[in-house]
A and B are shown apart, each in its own frame.
Chain A
Amino acid sequence: MKCPDFDRDNLFDFDDHYFSLMALEKYDPKLIAIVRQNWLKTRQFCKEHLAPYILSEDKKNASDPNHISWDLLRLAGRHGRLTVYIPKFLGGSSLGSPFLMLPDVEEEAAVDTGYSGMLGGHGLGLTALMMSLNLRILQQVANKITVNEKSEKPYVIDCAITEPTAGTDVEEVELYPKARLTCQAKKVAGGVVLNGRKVFISTGHMASDHIVLMPFDLKDPINNYGGFLVPGNSKGFSLGRKERKMGHLISTVSELIFEDCFVPDENIIMSTLEFPEFKDRDQFQLVLEMVLGITRTAVGAMGTGNARGSFERVLALAKKTKYRGRTLVNQQWAQAMLTNMFMNAMMARSVYLEATFAILTNIESTLSRSIPSFMNTEFMKKMFNTTLYKKIFHSRWLRKLMIRRILDTPLENRARIQFMSSMAKVVGSDMAMENGHLAVEFLSRAGLRHDKGIEKGFRDAKLLQIFEGTNQLNRLIMFKHYIARHIPGVEVF
């Protein structure tokens, strides 16, 4: 039976895929219109501007391990991609749906998962800044990103958590007491001194400044934690090697070295020394949970994009490849295999969208909703830069209020965000890896050569199962936050 010939360029159109968002349109037409508009912009950028460079940049990085894809960072900057998640009142271009931006991430990852990784460190840094509720530093960083976005050296940041001997352990609060941490911050007059080595830091070699998390006390790290903005030119700070890895080649992954690196008080983003009254209220735990809750959901979207990209590329080649004289798409086994790949992408998307809704419905904070339109304007940006507003928004009083408010988030709400975001991450990355395997198996020869782009999807997919907590750790996190809640006394980790 023949099928009508639709325009296949529109494969994975919004209307074919985001049914839950479209259902929401009934209740909040404006919000979903914004999501759709963002998505269209991203899709256009990816197709017209990003896609042509992807394979050549990947190859450049493969041939020269010291290559850094500045061209792609500049491309992203020229097209306003570095400020796209920063709200307008802070100088960015976000249309106002910070928590419903994941379809954009999926779109980017579908074209190049490495590209979404390249900006992943930047996004992680921004997320950490937002969750720290330090509006002063957030505004300062956001300004630098905006001002330099279209320059020859765009300003981006990264976020340093992982240490050489502690990967999984620093991705889950309960494992901190067991972690073999070596990095340590020491409070001195006028600032802090940082020492140690951070590894596998995404965006590291591209970042101008670095968001660095380190404890003050290695014996009780979780209750003595700090976050710092470390300028790239700080004395005692240096970049170590750029890692050589299997995929995500355009994304630099770096070693950061701190040797008696002094950071002034004004660059302390958050610290358990700041509000002693919150000390026993797991402030750091909450920030870490929130950051990972958001970024793990984003990894789910990256996985979905990767899985989808593999499918799209395979389909394009299947239309031209023959087996025993017949085109692959006309053969039943091929149709079933392609459909499996399609289903994998759809399943992964369902979970990350559901996780997004879990975040939206479980954080009691203005940050969780779409930003009210009166806030998200050029006028408010100007207001925010006046001394009076700065005085209010940067005040200790407001910061304390916001922290208390977020600390008051009930434990069940926090747990829901945790297990859903872990699930988005595991399902998304597993589906990406599965589709990577299927894609190479499906095409064999064409799947193996770099110039067809299929094998790149396979190489890129693997990282998603590892970073932001291995999928093994994330399974235990889901157990802890969902199943264990119903079994009093059960031991986890």
Chain B
Amino acid sequence: MSTSDLQPFRDLALRFARKELDPKAIDSDNYPFCDFNRGAIRTAQEAGLFKIMLSEAHGGAGQGIAALCEILFSLAKSDASFAAIVFINTLSKSAVLKWGSKPIIERFIQSQLIAFPAYDLPTDLPTDLIAEKMGDAFSLNGRVEFFPLAPVADALILPAKIQDSEVNVFFLIDARTKGISIGEPILSLGLRSCPVSDVELDRVETSAESLLCKDARTEYPALTANFRPAVAALAVGVLSGSYEAAKAYAKERFQGGKIIVEHEQVGLMLANMAVLTESGKALVQSMAQAADEGKPWPLSDAGLILLTEQASRATTDGVQVLGGYGYMKDYGQEKRMRDAKQIESIFGASPLKRMELIAEILRQEK
């Protein structure tokens, strides 16, 4: 899906996926009933997959959203959970760089994994965590639900509300801070090996320094606007994997005296997947380009809705093409269907994204 200057990133991700993800994707999907795949995380880290968007000063590749999308697409084709880890971690590191003070950046930027509330609607952040101001410091009380990467992260970017105000903020805190209890990993619909848990905070004292973003309500949506193409890349990556698997199976399996790809109902399902995969790739590319040019709106918002919704429907057909085998874990097709559905909820529920989109369009026309 890329222009030629992004080719090295695609190759890097494909090599990594073939070696580290393809053989283990189905097994590591048993998480939380198996170990977290730390090995792949370490290898990815060494390969620089987590640092694509970090500046060269921080040891990164200094790339933009387009390169990230390229990588996420290729990883998601093999294992969307792993791609989601890369996505969330890149998002959290960008937040640290954008909002952090120098000491904070120095302290956290090399952390392996930083948790970030990626399943929340950016314009309607959760308010179950209350920050009470105590002189220069804060005391945090409450909970953050369904917090991705929390069970495996070194640090957490927590959405909170300042007590007795309507102000939403983020805090960046070491995951081992006293008073933080990270719940058992949650069994979720999809992206199972991108661990999620509820986090409880009981009188967690933190310095003013760890207040990462003083006005999340206006600053956070701006940050996510740039990352919407990345979520769309995850969706199209899974879809593309599902399409390839369905096509390969349909060329092998006999039913009714012919290979099933010759049954037109099967052919049409594959055609629909092809339509979405091919146009999806191009759309992600345009979205990424717009984001890199600093003008993500409104294409990123619209494209995200279209592609995540369509991918979740089309991967459902991806299972159908394989019939009973599609429903079994062995072919990885049911995993793709679950993963795509979960990706649809990144940055909030789909109908809410639609309402936010039209509200913003109308606001701008005023």
Contact = CB atoms under 8 A, between A and B. Distances in A.
Contact of B342 (A180, A448, A470): A448
Given A441-B351, A445-B120, 14 more contacts: A63-B33, A169-B255, A175-B256, A200-B324, A323-B121, A333-B355, A337-B351, A433-B316, A440-B341, A450-B189, A462-B327, A466-B324, A472-B265, A493-B256
Contact of B337 (A442, A462, A475): A462
B329 interface: yes
A112 to B, nearest CB: 16
Interface string B129-146: 000000000000000011
A169 B119 contact: no
A451 B185 CA distance: 12
Nearest to B354: A333
B186 A450 contact: yes
B359 to A, nearest CB: 10
A166 B255 CA distance: 7
A462 B328 CA distance: 11
A162 B327 CA distance: 15
B158 interface: no
Contacts of A458: 189, 341
A165 B324 contact: no
Interface stretch (A227-235, A241-249, A363-371, A482-490): A241-249
A455 B189 contact: yes
Contacts of B221: none
B254 A180 contact: yes
A466 B124 contact: no
A465 interface: yes
A394 interface: no
B257 A178 contact: yes
B316 A462 contact: yes
B24 interface: no
Interface residues of B, number: 46
Contact of B334 (A167, A245, A472, A475): A245
B330 A244 contact: yes
B255 A168 contact: yes
B348 A324 contact: no
A333 B349 CA distance: 13
A462 B325 CA distance: 12
Contact of B329 (A63, A162, A245, A323): A245
B304 to A, nearest CB: 14
B326 A455 contact: no
A385 interface: no
Contacts of A166: 255
A263 B196 CA distance: 52
A437 B327 CA distance: 16
Contacts of B257: 175, 178
A404 interface: no
B255 A333 contact: no
Given A59-B187, A466-B324, A444 B349 contact: yes
Contact of B119 (A175, A445, A459, A463): A445
Nearest to B192: A62
Interface of B: 33, 119-121, 124, 145-146, 186-190, 196, 254-257, 263, 265-266, 309, 312-313, 316, 319-320, 323-324, 326-330, 334, 337-338, 341-342, 344-345, 348-352, 355
A337 B351 CA distance: 9
B337 A246 contact: yes
A246 B351 contact: no
With most chain B CB atoms within 10 A of its CB, the pick from A245, A441, A447 is A441
Interface in A467-493: 467, 470-472, 475, 493
10 contacts: A63-B33, A246-B329, A437-B312, A437-B341, A444-B119, A444-B350, A445-B145, A448-B189, A465-B320, A466-B319
A200 B341 CA distance: 25
A415 B230 CA distance: 52
Interface in A131-170: 162, 165-169
Nearest to B313: A437
Given A246-B338, A444-B345, A449-B146, A62 B323 contact: no
A72 interface: no
A244 B329 contact: yes
A466 B337 CA distance: 14
A410 B352 CA distance: 54
A161 to B, nearest CB: 12
A246 B334 contact: yes
A466 B265 contact: no
Contacts of A444: 119, 121, 345, 348-350, 352
Contacts of B255: 166-169, 175
A449 B186 contact: yes
B349 A442 contact: yes
B189 A459 contact: yes
A323 B352 contact: yes
Nearest to B355: A333
A240 to B, nearest CB: 13
With most chain A CB atoms within 10 A of its CB, the pick from B189, B196, B327 is B327
Contacts of B341: 437, 440, 458
Contacts of B254: 165, 180
A443 interface: yes
B332 to A, nearest CB: 11
B145 A324 contact: no
A214 to B, nearest CB: 19
A199 B323 CA distance: 13
Contacts of B327: 245-247, 462-463, 466
What 5 A-B pairs are tightest by C-beta distance, nearest first?
A178-B257, A444-B349, A455-B189, A246-B334, A450-B187
With most chain B CB atoms within 10 A of its CB, the pick from A64, A246, A446 is A246
A166 B324 CA distance: 11
With most chain B CB atoms within 10 A of its CB, the pick from A167, A178, A448 is A448
